[in-house]
Amino acid sequence: MKIPTEQTPKLVKVTNIGKDTKPETLRDFFTFCGKIQDFEVEADGEHQKALIMFESSKAAKTAELLSNALVEDSHIQVEPYFEIPALTDEKAAPSPERLITDGDDDEKTTPGHDQDKKTVSNIMAELLSSGYALGDQVLAKGIEFDHQYGVRDTVQHYYDQIRHNLQQWDEQYHVSEKANEVEQRIGLQEKQKEVSEKAHEWLQNTPTGQKVSGLITQFSQQISDLHNEAKRLVSVRQNEAQSKPSGAAA
């Protein structure tokens, strides 16, 4: 990858990638954040490292918020490539139009659509539903970003929509009764336990960790909402697959 001569917030570096993680696996993970313009992975001792150039700065910031997520067997670390001074809230905030998301449109819960139109929380719910273990500390940082830089009414609408959708699907497909089955299918229980155990010491013993620990308490209901939304999305896909006529194209 050719490094830009001018500093840009769209370029991030990713470290602590498992040595056996395939580039396409890593690319698929970060595609949830937004469109990727350029991508490079190389060996880094016993691990791998990567450079990712996104098409938007919001996609890059979303990727940074995913630092410490579990990708296969390693907790990846994500940070901006360039040390750019923080923008003021007014300049850093995405416009209201960029944060609008339609909670009813389940067909948009796969990579390839315009992720810049979604809240960070929305993207994290999609990652959870695809089997990635983010950990509550990662979710809390995403929720804080939405509250800090998002349009507050839009963010609240998203969580209200989650609860409305979950109630509807629970009544129609008994989502709550399938919760354990869904969690086992996407490996959430085992992965989340591993993430929580490895994050506990960091949360307790570092200033940053203590701040995030406070965010977990502050946003506990919304963190729970994201886990429930992930289960609902999996249930939606399962029921759609089961309703397809035999022999129908995938």
Strand 77-80 and strand 70-71: the pairing is: unpaired
pLDDT, tens only, 75-89: 999 999 998 775 544
Instruction: Report CA Rg, the chain.
Output: 18
211 three-class SS:
helix
| 40 or 244, greater pLDDT | 40
pLDDT, tens only, 116-141: 788 999 999 999 999 999 989 999 99
Output the pLDDT for position 31.
97
pLDDT higher than 90, residue 34:
yes
pLDDT higher than 70, residue 161:
yes
48 three-class SS:
strand
pLDDT band at 113 (very low <50, low <70, confident <90, very high): low
pLDDT band at 93 (very low <50, low <70, confident <90, very high): very low
pLDDT higher than 90, residue 195:
no
Q: How far apart are CA 105 and CA 107, in angstroms?
A: 5
Q: Which fold has domain 1-85?
A: Alpha-Beta Plaits (3.30.70)
pLDDT higher than 60, residue 198:
no
Of the chain, the percentage scoring pLDDT greater than 90 comes to 48
Output the pLDDT for position 96.
43
- 3-state SS track over 8-41: CCCEEEEEEEECCCCHHHHHHHHHCCCCEEEEEE
CA 243 to chain CA centroid, Å, is 28
pLDDT, tens only, 171-181: 665 555 555 55
Output the pLDDT for position 174.
58
Residue-by-residue DSSP string for 117-174 = GS-HHHHHHHHHHTT-B--HHHHHHHHHHHHHHS-HHHHHHHHHHHHHHHHHHHHHH-
Output the pLDDT for position 172.
66
| 125 or 73, greater pLDDT | 125
DSSP secondary-structure letter at 108?
G
User: What does pTM read for this prediction?
Assistant: 0.76
Strand 74-75 and strand 11-18: the pairing is: unpaired
Q: Which residue is associated with the tokens 């307790």?
A: 204
Q: How far apart are CA 27 and CA 233, in angstroms?
A: 22
Tokens at 174, concatenated? 């008994």
CATH 3.30.70.330 domain residues, the chain: 1-85
pLDDT band at 208 (very low <50, low <70, confident <90, very high): low
104 three-class SS:
coil
| 238 or 175, greater pLDDT | 238
CB-side exposure of 219: number of CA atoms within 13 Å? Answer: 28
